[in-house]
Structure 1
């Protein structure tokens, strides 16, 4: 069995789809299955059992550890505008600690989701140097909750025999349709352009960046899934790793790629960044991917233009 938490979510459902394609069909899907739109991500996938998030640890107690091959812990409260610190601590930090301890007790290898939100404004850069992690300054409670678990994990004297934390950058691709405001700019762009023929981007409130030239490391979900499955097979070099494309691109680049894929004339304007996120807005992120490459990860990452086109072809289907 392979356990995937957050199973109905965007990244996890893509992971299960790829695992199925490689012959892994004994999937234990863990989530809070209360969102009909989100649950559509699991339609057609081969899943052995669905387990509610709140009873997962009771379920786990009854299992033979020898039957569990791997845990991918991708479940989390991922809303960067969530300010209920207690909720974020409970779902993102404390729940992850319980999974970590069970992986030690039951000798199960673990890959878990961290986040590039831990880097804050990038004052210390975007290097996955573990010595810098205690000094990072996330901009929101979500990033804090993820960073707190990373710090806790690094400080543990006893660890799972294999474990990896992945700092996801701006992941995009099929399966994020349920995410509302938290969906990628690509999905928002496709919807906005489909409805109006136009796209509005956030204006820059930082004199160092022109409007639309704010930069992000956009990474295609297929690449993220490939890395996770490679780590499952690799099972060496435990630690915390960046997972982005390694190349920052502007929002203008992204939206132009959407217009091109939709075969429509560009029409881009700018609006003020909402005040509730303006002082917590990242103007630049770029994953240093040398650490993952140094342990032997062999694949190249999908270009933004290619990834956008693949994603939009999927949406059209």
Structure 2
């Protein structure tokens, strides 16, 4: 069986979709704690063996010898979370407990890190080294702490899972993100706002040299993110597992929020219209103006599946999900 924590979240549920539809696997254990009243719909089309609350997982794992891998996507993912004690408990200690269980039981472990660990980008976006990174918020720091802890386990010859990888997801967008509210992608917010008001609000260029709406991100379609995770899962089950380590998951090509919003509105077959607004006070000084994943490490281990272009990913998202009566994947 394959355990997916955060399995009712966007990335977790699309990983389950990939296992169901691409690998014909339904021996899946979904672990989560659903707090949004509509989030259960992320699981409505999935086939899986068990659902567990996140606090049930460690007890459930005791004595089991039928776990093929743990895919750990569960976390507090809000970049605006201010309660650092909650971040420590959920994003660090829970992850450490799962890592240790996998190490003790010789089970592959794959977990979600984040591009938020790169901070303002002054140290670049290269997954070859995570030294000297300075995240801009507590969420990013909690992910960076666990990355550092995992690498320290390796350096100190402490127990590690037989196969493991941490995934620095860049700006993931796509179906099943609807429960994330403010933390949902700008693609989803564009569709909703433009449908309701006829315009999309984007931030003004508050930094010198940055024009309105031209803050840049490496936008990656959630189906591509799931494909990379599946590659590592299948590799771990084969004769030549992928090298352990931390990997970026992005396209390697930064695009502007203006490009993204325009692609959404074009996908809706309507004339784009954008309004520029001031950046909220709580984001000032904690905002990434540019992200672009260095992808040579993933390519270097043999991952060859092409990533959707921004336009192709947005088109699939809008036309096959957002405009449908049932928008869930």
- Normalization by structure 2: what TM-score? 0.93
Is 1:281 the equivalent of 2:278? no
Aligned to 1:171: 172
Unaligned runs of 5+ in 2: 237-241, 325-329
Structure-1 residue corresponding to 2:216 = 215
1:270 has 2:267 as partner: no
For residues 287 and 35 of structure 2, the distance between their equivalents in structure 1, rounded to whole angstroms, comes to 31
Matches within 5 A, 1:57-72: 57-63=58-64, 65=65, 67-72=66-71
* Cα distance, 1:77 vs structure 2: 0.3
- 1:121 corresponds to 2:120: yes
- Partner of 1:6 in structure 2? 6
Q: Which residue of 1 aligns with 2:37?
A: 36
Secondary structure of the residue that 1:178 maps to in structure 2?
helix
For 2:38 and 2:139, locate their aligned partners in 1 and report how far apart those are by CA, in whole Å: 23
Structure 1: gaps (5+ residues): none
Q: Write out per-residue CA displacement over residues 184-233 of structure 1, whole angstroms, 9 at most, x where no aligned residue.
A: 00000001110111111011110121111110000000100111101111
Q: Which runs of 4+ in 1 moved over 6 A?
A: none
TM-score by length of 1: 0.97
Relative to structure 1, is the Cα distance of residues 200 and 224 closer, same or farther in structure 2, using a 3 angstrom cutoff? same
CA distance in 2, matches of 1:70, 1:83: 32
1:141 aligns with 2:138: yes
Q: Which residue does 2:152 correspond to in 1?
A: 155
**How far 1:296 sits from its partner (Å)?**
0.1
Q: Deviations over 1:114-133 (max 9, x none)?
A: 00000000111000023xx2
Give the secondary structure class of the aligned counterpart of 1:308: helix
Greater shift, 286-295 or 46-55, is seen at: 46-55
Q: How does 1:88-107 map to 2 (within 5 A)?
A: 88-107=87-106
The residue aligned with 2:247 is 241
Alignment of 1:287-298 (within 5 A): 287-298=293-304
Could you give the per-residue CA deviations for residues 64-115 of structure 1, whole angstroms, max 9, x where no partner exists?
x2x1111100000000000100100100011000000000111100110000
Q: Could you report, residue by residue, the CA deviation over 1:6-32 in whole angstroms, capped at 9, with x for unpaired residues?
A: 111010001101101121111111111
Equivalent residue, structure 2, for 1:20: 20
- Give 1:33 deviation, angstroms: 3.2
Q: Distance in 1 between matches of 2:149 and 2:54?
A: 22
Equivalent pairs counted in the alignment come to 313
Instruction: State the 1:183 CA deviation.
Output: 0.2
Range 251-260 or range 185-194, more displaced: 251-260
1:311 to 313, 317, 320: 317
Q: What corresponds to 1:189 in structure 2?
A: 190
State the distance in 1 between where 2:105 and 2:204 align.
50
